[in-house]
Amino acid sequence: MTGKTLIYDGSFEGFLSCVFYVFEYKLANISIQSEFAIQNALFSENVTIITNTSKSDRVWKGLKQKASSISSTKIYYAFLSEQLGVENVLLNYIEYIFNSNEKVDTDFTQPSVLKTSQIAKNVSREKHRMEAFVRFKLTKDNIYFANIEPDFNVLPLISKHFKSRYADQKWVIYDIKRNYGLFYDLKTLEIVQMDFPKNFDFSKTDKNFFSEEEFEFQKLWQNYFKSTNITERKNMKLHVQHVPKRYWKYLSEKQPKF
């Protein structure tokens, strides 16, 4: 079987532009891949699709008409998972929605519907975890700084939460895996890219960067965390289930004691 592979720029608009292209030329047997994750299939033809927001807007608008807002949100969430091949699951889902006369976006017996819903669930779980596990540290410049390393690209999903919560302090949340972050300067929220010194240890609190009282509050927090534990009920399995080990690196309460 030979098919076309559509290559896009990695953005959600780019992906929707690919969907537009598929419908415009009534293509079948299509695979969509981000230019950052190209896996060349034998005998397949690559087409680079240029992101076009008027096209992507049309797809998105169409989706909103044929699917509930919950379902279209799920598509966006699943997209942010950046999982290999997720674009093809989403394409199947979107095709299924557009090709049916009835509303079918909640037909969980359809594999692409269920799969999208499951991936979206994973992303939303990680979003929620990031809302919980971000640990700000106060810098000498009076900015609350936090670094994260989420499995999925959840920064766009958590920005609103943090903006409405920390409206009176300057803060940065930086995704060191994807090398971009959010910066709130008391007025607006910006996407920023930062350069860090070489060998900068993100799990430590560097005296050169962070304020003195920062250490005191981390110490208080660590001790609180210890005191509030009930040893008679120790249950490490449950503990690790709730706070998976891959998140421990940047949790102040999980760092060695001061």
- Count Cβ neighbours within 10 Å for each residue of 122-150 and write b for 16 or more, e otherwise: ebbebbebbeebbbbbbbeeebbbbbbeb
Kindly indicate which of the ranges 19-27, 29-37, 188-196, 246-254 contains the residues binding other proteins, using the contact rule CB under 8 A. 246-254
**Binding residue (CB under 8 A) for other proteins from 140, 178, 239, 249:** 239
Tokens of 71: 């379902």
Tokens of 153: 């690209």
9, 48 Cβ separation under 8 angstroms: no
Kindly indicate which of the ranges 39-47, 149-157, 191-199, 221-229 contains the residues binding other proteins, using the contact rule CB under 8 A. 221-229
* Radius of gyration over every alpha carbon of the chain, rounded to an integer in angstroms: 22
Does 224 bind other proteins (CB under 8 A)? Our answer is yes
**Binding residue (CB under 8 A) for other proteins from 27, 114, 176, 189:** 114
Does 219 bind other proteins (CB under 8 A)? Our answer is yes
Rounded CA separation 241/238 (Å): 5
Sign of CA dihedral 47, 9, 84, 64: negative
Does 223 bind other proteins (CB under 8 A)? Our answer is yes
Tell me the closest approach of the beta carbon of residue 223 to other proteins, in angstroms.
6
**Binding residue (CB under 8 A) for other proteins from 190, 204, 216, 249:** 216
Does 77 bind other proteins (CB under 8 A)? Our answer is no
Three-state SS sequence of 24-92:
HCCCCCEEEEEHHHCCCCCCCEEEECCCCHHHHHHHHHHHHHHCCHHHHHHHHHHHHCCCCCHHHHHHH
Does 184 bind other proteins (CB under 8 A)? Our answer is no
The C-alpha angle 189, 191, 194, rounded to 5 degrees, equals 125
Kindly indicate which of the ranges 25-33, 37-45, 46-54, 215-223 contains the residues binding other proteins, using the contact rule CB under 8 A. 215-223
**Binding residue (CB under 8 A) for other proteins from 42, 228, 256, 257:** 228
Does 106 bind other proteins (CB under 8 A)? Our answer is yes
Kindly indicate which of the ranges 23-31, 44-52, 100-108, 149-157 contains the residues binding other proteins, using the contact rule CB under 8 A. 100-108
Site for other proteins in 119-178 (CB under 8 A): 128, 131-138, 144, 146, 164-169
- Binding residues (CB under 8 A) for other proteins: these are 104, 106-109, 114, 128, 131-138, 144, 146, 164-169, 216-217, 219-221, 223-225, 227-239, 241-243, 251-253
